[in-house]
Structure 1
Amino acid sequence: MSTEEKRVWVYAAVALAIPVVYFASVLRQLPGADVTRITYIPALLTAIGVAVLANIVASIATAIAAPKEAGLKDERDAGIRRYGQRAEYYVLAVSVAGVFALTLAGAAHFWIANALYLAFVLSALASAIVRIVAYRRGF
């Protein structure tokens, strides 16, 4: 398994784990609550920061674990990256259209912010899944 594939696996794990924890902590406040009173902003910013930091630390750890492979990329890695980005853009575009609809409908900021975060999460997962499949089966 190449270093790039390992990074994609870590990216997928982080893109799944952090939002699950975030949504579990925020959505448990939802039953019977007024969404304008739910404190989600600190948790959302923390989730984003932890995800960024976790990906950086994991990338460094992957490079330390296999120093001879660190930084080695070939044409296949570049092609798979573009392939994953294409899937990411499509998922993000469709998801953001839903967020835009929420905005036009006058939804509360809680729903708009969380839908936007979910859009980014889904696009990251789509990219990671497509890339993992491409590494395993070819593209």
Structure 2
Amino acid sequence: MSSEEKRSWIYVVVSAGVAAVYFVIVLSKVPGADVARIAYVRPMLIAIGAGIGLGIVATIAAAIASPREAGRADERDRQIHRLGEYVGFYVMSIAAIVPLALAMAEAAHFWIANALYLAFVLAALASSIAKIVLYRRGF
């Protein structure tokens, strides 16, 4: 497994795990509550920071575990990365319609912010999963 494929796996696990924890914590407060009073900003910022931090730490750990492969990328890796980023871009472009529609409908900031965060998570997952599929099924 190349270092680029390992990074994709790390990104899937970290982004899915952090987002799942965030949504369980925040959305568990929604039933019977006024969403305008739910404190979501700090947990969202913590989730974003934790995702970035855990991704960096896990990538460094993977590089230390197999130093010969670290940072080594060939033309295939670059093309897979490019195609995966295209997939993430298109998913983000489509998913961003939801928070835009919520803003136009003057929904609560809570729903707009969480829809936008979910759009970013979906884009990251789609990009990484596309890269993994391209590595596994061939390019």
The two structures have a TM-score, normalised by structure 2, of 0.98
- Match in the other structure for 2:123: 123
SS of the aligned residue for 1:29 comes to: coil
What amino acid is the match of 1:119?
A
CA distance in 1, matches of 2:132, 2:15: 14
Stretches of structure 2 lacking an aligned partner (at least 5 in a row): none
What amino acid is the match of 1:19?
A
Aligned identity (percent) is: 56
- Cα RMSD of the aligned pairs, angstroms, is 0.6
SS of the aligned residue for 1:124 comes to: helix
Runs of 4+ in 1 over 4 A off after TM superposition: none
- Match in the other structure for 2:78: 78
Summarize the alignment of residues 58-97 of structure 1 with structure 2, pairs less than 5 Å apart.
58-97=58-97
1:37, CA displacement in angstroms? 0.3
1:51, CA displacement in angstroms? 0.1
CA distance in 1, matches of 2:78, 2:39: 41
1:138, CA displacement in angstroms? 1.4
SS of the aligned residue for 2:69 comes to: coil
CA distance in 1, matches of 2:70, 2:133: 22
CA distance in 2, matches of 1:38, 1:2: 43
Stretches of structure 1 lacking an aligned partner (at least 5 in a row): none
Q: What is the aligned residue count?
A: 139
- Match in the other structure for 2:134: 134
The two structures have a TM-score, normalised by structure 1, of 0.98
1:97, CA displacement in angstroms? 1.4
1:58, CA displacement in angstroms? 0.8
CA distance in 2, matches of 1:30, 1:99: 18
